[in-house]
Amino acid sequence: MRRMAILTAAGLLAIVVLAPVIWLMILSVSSTADIYTVPLRWIPSDWDLSRYGRLLAPDPSGNTSPFLLALRNSLIVGVAGTVAALAISAPAAWHISRAHAGEGLLHVMVGTYMLPQTVMALPLYVMLSSSGLLNRPAGLVIVYLGFLVPFTTWLLKTGFDQVPRQLDEAARVDGLGAFGIMVRIGIPIARASIATTALFALLMAWDEFFYALLFTSNAAAKTVTVAIVDFTSGRVSDYGLVAAGGVVAALPPVLIGVLLQRHLISGLTAGGVKG
Amino acid sequence: MKKYLIATLLVLSLAIHLALARPVAADDAKTLNVLVMSDTAYSDKDVSSMTASFNTEHPDINVKVDFVPYAGLRDRILLSQGSDGAYDVVLIDVIWLAEFVKRDLIIDVTDRVDSSLRSQVFDGAWKTADLNGRLYGFPWLVDAKFLYYNKKMLSDAGFSAPPKTWDEMNNQAQVLKDKGIVKFPIVWNWGQNEEIVCDFAYLLAARGGQFFASDGKPAFQSEGAKVLDYMRSQIHSGIANPSSREYNAEDGRRAFLSGEAAFSFNWQYVYALSKNPAESKVVGQVGVAPVPAGPGAPEGTSVNGSMALSITKTSKHPEEAWTYVTFMTSKDLQDKYAKAVLPVWTASYSDPAVVAGQEELAAAAAPNFKNMVLRPVIANYVQMSSALQEGIQAVLYDKAEPDAVLADIASSVGNQ
Amino acid sequence: MRRPIFVMRGGSALAVRRRSAEGFAFLSPVVIVLVVTVGGPLLFTLAISFTSASFLGTLADLRIVGLRNYVTVLTSTSFQHAFIVTIEFALFTVTAEMLLGLGTGLLLAEEFPGRTLLRVLLIVPWAIPTVVNAITWRLIYAPDFGALNALLQQTGVITDYRSWLGDPSLALYAIGVADIWKNFPIVGLIVLAALQTAPRDLYDAAHVDGAGIFRRFSTITLPHIAGPLMVALILRTIDTIKVFDIVWVMTRGGPFSSTKPMSMLVYERTFSNLESGIGSAIAFIITLVCLVFIIAYTRLLKRQSRSA
C-alpha cells in the first residue's frame, strides 16, 4: 500500500517535472496547422523540423543569423566572465580558507549577491556609457563580475576548505610562500571543486537577463536571453519558432546541469547550507 | 608569487580579449546601424532586401538593420543613447517626436529636405517628422486605423455597405447580434497598451472633443467621459468581445481574421494578411473602409499612426545615414513595395500599377490620411499615455468611474 | 628557490605583518570588483534617490529634493499596489515551493526503482534559463492553443478555451505556478541532502518504539532539515521580492498592472519615464526590504557554522 503510494507519487513527480519541457520540444517541431487544431493533437501529425534551420541559417542579405550571434555573445560573456571571476576570487577564497580571516568580508559578499539588480542598474548604465562599454561584451562581463565574484569566492572557499592543512605545512617547509602554496597545492587538489564552480558561474551568466536587456542593444553584444525574449514580444506568427529558440537556448545549461548533477547538489548544499 | 601574478595577468588579458571580440569592427569606415520595428507592415525580410539593395548600390556603406518589437522600440532607442553611434538611424513613432526633440536625441534635417517634396507627401505623414516647422526625419510609414468589416456577415444581415457614421455602425452591430449572425460583432484592441489610447483618441475626436484647448489646458474630461461610457457599454452590452480588454493589435486581427467578429479597427497591415489563407479564415470576405463620421467629425477621422526614419544625435555618419533614409523613403522604392505598405507619396495613389489589387484600401486611405488626428504632441506623452491606459482599463474592468479617472489624468498632466 | 624560513605558524610579529600584507594582496581584487560593481552603484543610487535626476538629463537639471521622492513613492497607489503584488507573489510561491520541496525530498529519500533517474531529472527545471521557463509557460497558458487549455478541455474540466494570463484575478498566480515549477525541485534536493545526514538507526529505533509517522517526522526528521529549509526559505523569499525576469516575459506587468511587481516599477520610472530620482527611491526601498532577509540569512549561517 505504502509502496503503491510512493510509486504513484514518484510517477506524478516525473510527469510534472518533464511535461512542460517535452511539450516545448514537441511544439518546436509541430506544424502551424497542428498547433492551432482544437482539440489539440499532442503528437503532431505533420512534423516541421525547419525551425531549427531557420533559427541558425543566414538571413536574406547573407549575414549570420542574429540568433546564432546571440548564442555566440552569451558564450563569450559566460566564458570570459567565469575565467575572470575565478582568477579574481581564487586568492580571496584561499586566504579566507587558510587564514581564518576575512570571514566577515565573505558574509558581506554573500549579502551583496542577494541585492536586487534594479538598485544598481542606473549607476552601472552610466558607468558603462561613459567608458564606452555599453553594447560590448566586455561591459557586460564587468557588470556580471558583480554577482559572479561573491558566488565563486563562496564556493571556492568551501572547496579549498577540503584541502588538508598538512599539505600547506609541507609546502611551507619546502619554501613556498602563500601564493605558491595556493597555486601548487590548493588549486590542483581542489580542481574538481574549481571545475564545478566554473560551470556554476557559466550557468549563472547564461541565465542572466536584466542587465543584458539594459546594457546590450544590437547584435554586437545581445545575448541569447534577450534575443529569445525579442522573439516573443513582437508579432508572432510562428510559435513553433519561438519554442525552437527556447529549446536551443536551454540546451547548454540543461546539459551542464544533468552531467554535473551530483557535484551541483553537493556544491549548493555544502556552500549554502552548512556555511 | 611573481609567476602567479604573470599567470593571472595572462588569463585576465585572455578574458578581456575574448570579451572585446566583435563580429565585425563596428567603427569600420562607413558602417551604419539602423533600428527599426520588427514586422511593421513591411516584413523583416522586405526591409532586409531593401537594405541589401542599398548596400549593393553603395559599396562604400555597409548598413546593418536591427529589428526590435514595437513594445521595446522606444526603450531601446533611449537605452542606446549611452553608447556612441550604437544606432545611426532609428524609426520613431509620431507620439515620440516631441519627446525626442526635447531630449535632443534626433537631429534637425530641415535643410536637407527639398521644399518641393513637402507637397508630395501626405500632410498627416509629415506630422511624424515636423515639429514646429522644423523637420527631424523623413516619413517612412503613413498609417491610420481603418474600419475592417466582414462583407459576408453584413450582407447576411441585410447590409450592402459598411457604415458611414458611428450611429450606423452601432446599429448594424446590434442587428448582427440580434440576428445571431455573430456572437460578438465588434472586436477591439483594448489591452493595456498604446492601442487603447489610439482608439480613445479618434472616439474623442468623433464627438468633437480634443485633448488640449488652445490655451493649453486639458479639455478632454467631459467628452472623454462620454467616450469611456461608450467603451464600457460596448463590453457590458455584449456587442464587443469581452476579451478585447486583453487584446493588442495582433490578438484583435487574429480574432477578426478567424471570423469571430464583423467589425474591427486596425492598422493597414491587416488588409494584406486578410487575403493570405495561412493567416485568414475569411479570405475574400474582408472589406476595408474609412473610420465612420461622428457628430463632431467627418468620415476618416482616424488616429495618426505614422512613423519616420530619423538620424540620431550620436551618429558618427549623419551624411551616409541621410543617404540611407532618402533611399528607404524614395517614391520608387515605396511604389515597388506598395502591396505591403501604402506609400507616403500622394502621387502613388493615382497610379493604377501601385493600387492594383488594393483599390479598396487605397480608397479608404484617402479620407483616413486626410482627416486623421494626432494624440497629444507633448514631451511627456508616454507618461500621459500610461496613465490613460491604466485609467481606461480601470473603467473597463469596473474598478473606477470615468470622471474620476479623467480628472486624475488631467491634473497630473497639467497645462501644456 | 629556497628561502630561509622566517614565518612560523602563529608566531612572531613579522609573521603577523606578513600575513596582513598577504591578506591585503589576496583580498584586494575581490574588494575592488565589489566596490566598483556593487558598493559604488549602491551609494550612487542612494544619492540619486534624493534628487530630481532624469535619465539622459544633464547635471544642470539636478536638484536635491531630500525625502520628497520617498514620500511620493510611498504614498502613490501604483507603488502600494506593486508592493502588494510583490508580497502576494512571494507568499504564494515560497510557501508552495517549501511544501512541494519538502514532499519531494521526503519522497526521494525512499527507495524505489528509478529513484536516481528521478533525482537527475529534478535538475532540469533549475537548469532551464529563467526566460526560457517564462516563455514555455506563456505558451502553455496561450489562449488559442496552449497545453493547459487543451488538457482541461480534453478532460472535460472546461468547455471553451480561455485566457489565463489575461485575467487580472488569475494572472499573478499563473506566473507563480511557473516560478514554483522552476524552483521546488531544488528545494527538494536540498531537503534530500539534509535528510541523508540523519542517522538511519535513529529512525529504526523510533520505529521499533512504536512512534507514529507524524511523531517520527516532527522529532527526528524536522530538526535535521529545519536548518537547510530555513536557508532555502530565506533565499527564495529574497529572490521573489526582486522578481523581474519572469513577469517581464510573461505579462510585462499586465493585465491592468495586476502582475506588476516593484522591480518593474523601478524599470518603468527610471528608464521609460526617465524619472531616475523616483526610480532610485523605489529601488532603495526594495533593497531595504531585502536587507531584512539578508541579515536574517547571515545570522542563520553564522549560527549554523558555529554549531557545525
Residue C271 has its nearest CB partner, among B79, B192, B397, at: B79
Q: Tell whether the model's pLDDT for residue A6 goes beyond 50.
A: yes
Please list the residues that pair with B263 across neighbouring strands.
B149, B186
Q: What is the DSSP letter of B337?
A: T
- For each of the domains in chain B, give its residue range(s) and CATH number, in order of start: 11-143+305-371 (3.40.190.10), 146-303+380-413 (3.40.190.10)
Decide if B38 touches C, using CB distance below 8 A. no
Q: Residue B409 half-sphere exposure, CB side, CA atoms within 13 Å?
A: 31
Choose the mutation target among B4, B78, B192, B251 for the interface with C, i.e. most C CBs under 10 Å. Answer: B192
| C-alpha to C-alpha distance for B202 and B294, rounded to whole angstroms | 10
What does the alpha-carbon distance between residue B164 and residue B154 come to, in Å, rounded to a whole number?
14
Q: Average pLDDT, stretch B22-44? A: 70
pLDDT in tens, C25-44: 888 899 999 999 999 999 98
From chain B, pick out residues whose CB is under 8 angstroms from the CB of C268: 386
C200, part of any domain: yes
Position A260: which residue type? L
The pLDDT value given to residue B21: 45
In the 8-state DSSP scheme, what is residue B64? E
Least confident of A162-176, B182-196, B274-288, C1-15: C1-15
Contact C272 B191 (CB under 8 A): no
Residue C11's pLDDT is 46
pLDDT at C305 over 70: no
**Is A41 a domain residue?**
yes
* Minimum distance, in Å, between the CA of residue C76 and any CA atom of chain A: 19
Q: Are residues A140 and A28 in the same domain?
A: no
A77 → chain B, closest CA residue: B19
> Contact C124/A110, CB-based, under 8 Å?
no
The residue ranking higher by pLDDT, C224 or B301, is: B301
Predicted confidence at residue C16, as pLDDT, reads 58
C47 within domain boundaries: no
**B254 and chain C: CB distance < 8 Å anywhere?**
yes
Q: What is the mean pLDDT of residues C53-59?
A: 72
In a domain, A20, yes or no: yes
What is the domain range of residue C159?
76-307
Residue A54 lies in a domain: no
Whether residue C150 is contained in a domain is answered as yes
Sign for the CA dihedral angle at B335, B337, B338, B341 comes to: negative
**Interchain CB contact of B243 with C (< 8 Å):** yes
Please compute the mean of the pLDDT values over residues B179-183 and round it to a whole number.
91
Average pLDDT in the B351-356 region?
88
Q: Please list every residue in chain A whose beta carbon sits closer than 8 Å to the beta carbon of residue C304.
A: 273-275
Scanning B102-141 for CB atoms below 8 A from C yields 103, 105
Distance CA A189, CA A176 (A): 16
Question: What's A259's domain CATH number?
Answer: 1.10.3720.10
The region that residue C211 occupies, defined by phi over 0 for left and psi between -120 and 50 for alpha, beta otherwise, is beta
pTM over 0.90, yes/no: no
Verify whether the Cβ–Cβ distance C256 to B243 is below 8 Å.
Answer: no
Position with higher pLDDT, C238 vs B3: C238
Lowest mean pLDDT among A147-156, B312-321, C88-97, C222-231: C222-231
Is the CB of C107 less than 8 angstroms away from the CB of A6?
yes
Same domain, yes or no: A100 and A200: yes
What sign does the dihedral B194-C241-A144-A67 (CA atoms) show?
negative
C218 found inside a domain:
yes
Give the nearest partner residue to A135 out of B1, B69, B86, using CB atoms.
B86
| 8 A C-beta contact, residue B146 and residue B305 | no
Whether C79 shows a pLDDT value over 70: the answer reads: yes
- Condensed to tens digits (0 to 9), the pLDDT of residues C262-294 reads 999 999 888 888 888 999 999 999 999 998 888
Decide if pLDDT at C224 tops 80.
Answer: no
Residues A35 and A82 in one domain: no
Q: For residue range B142-163, what is the model confidence (pLDDT) as tens digits?
A: 999 999 999 999 999 999 999 9
Residues in chain B closer than 8 A to A240 (CB atoms): none
Q: Tell me the residue range of the domain where A117 lies.
A: 66-273
> Which pLDDT value is given to residue C129?
96
Neighbours of A (≥3 Cβ pairs closer than 8 A)? B, C
Residues 6 or more apart whose Cβ sits within 8 Å of residue B98:
B131, B377, B378, B379, B381
Burial C278-301 (b: 16+ CB within 10 A, else e): bbbbbbbbbbebbeebbeebbebb
One DSSP character per residue, A133-150 reads: -TTSHHHHHHHHHHHHHH
Integer Cα distance of B87 and A220 in angstroms:
12
Residue of A nearest to B258 (CA): A36
Number of independent structural domains in chain A: 2
Residue B26 in this model has a pLDDT that exceeds 60:
no
Q: What is the pLDDT of residues A49-88, one digit of tens each?
A: 888 888 888 766 666 788 899 999 999 999 999 999 999 9
- Res. A273 pLDDT band, cuts 50 70 90: very low
Coil, helix or strand at residue B19:
helix
Number of domains in chain C: 1
B318 falls in which pLDDT band (50, 70, 90)?
A: very high
Residue B205 has pLDDT above 50, yes or no: yes
Q: Within a domain: residue A57?
A: no
Predicted local confidence at residue A32, as pLDDT: 74
**Residue B307, Cβ neighbours under 10 Å: how many?**
27
Does the distance separating the beta carbons of C227 and A122 come in below 8 Å? no
Q: Which of A125-139, B57-71, B126-140, B329-343 has the highest mean pLDDT?
A: B126-140
Domain annotation covers residue C265: yes
Instruction: List C-alpha distances in Å: C216 to A9, A31, B402.
Output: 21, 53, 61
Q: What is the pLDDT of residue A145?
A: 95
Is C272 in contact with B103 (Cβ distance < 8 A)?
Answer: no
Task: Return the closest-CA partner of residue C224 out of C299, C307, C302, C296.
Answer: C307
**Across B300-322, average pLDDT:** 93
Between residues 62 and 101 of chain A, which touch chain B (CB distance below 8 Å)? 62-64, 69, 72, 76-77, 79-81, 83-84, 87
Q: Is the pLDDT of residue A34 over 70?
A: yes
At C8, the pLDDT band (50, 70, 90 cuts) reads very low
pLDDT reported for residue A185:
82
Three-class SS state of A77 = helix
Q: Report the complex ipTM.
A: 0.90
Q: In one letter, which amino acid is C215? A: R
Q: Say yes or no: A90 and A187 in one domain.
A: yes
Query: Same domain for A29 and A82?
Result: no
**A152, A35: one domain:** no
**Per-residue pLDDT tens over the stretch C149-171:** 888 988 888 887 888 988 888 99
Residues of C contacting chain B (CB within 8 angstroms): 55-56, 143-144, 163, 166, 168, 252, 254-257, 268, 271-274
Would you call C9 exposed, middle or buried from its count of C-beta atoms within 10 A (0-12, 13-18, 19+)? exposed
**Nearest chain B Cα distance for residue A189, angstroms:** 17
pLDDT at C58 over 70: no
Judged by average pLDDT, the poorest of A231-235, B358-362, B383-387 is A231-235
The answer to whether residue C57 is domain-embedded is: no
Taking an 8 Å cut-off on Cβ atoms, the answer to whether B71 and C252 are in contact is: yes
What is residue A126's predicted lDDT score, i.e. its pLDDT? Answer: 85
The pLDDT of residue B14 is above 80: no
Q: Is A58 within the bounds of a domain?
A: no
Contact yes or no for A202/A151 (Cβ under 8 A): no
What CATH number does the domain containing C275 carry? 1.10.3720.10
Q: Is C49 a domain residue?
A: no
pLDDT at A253 over 90: yes
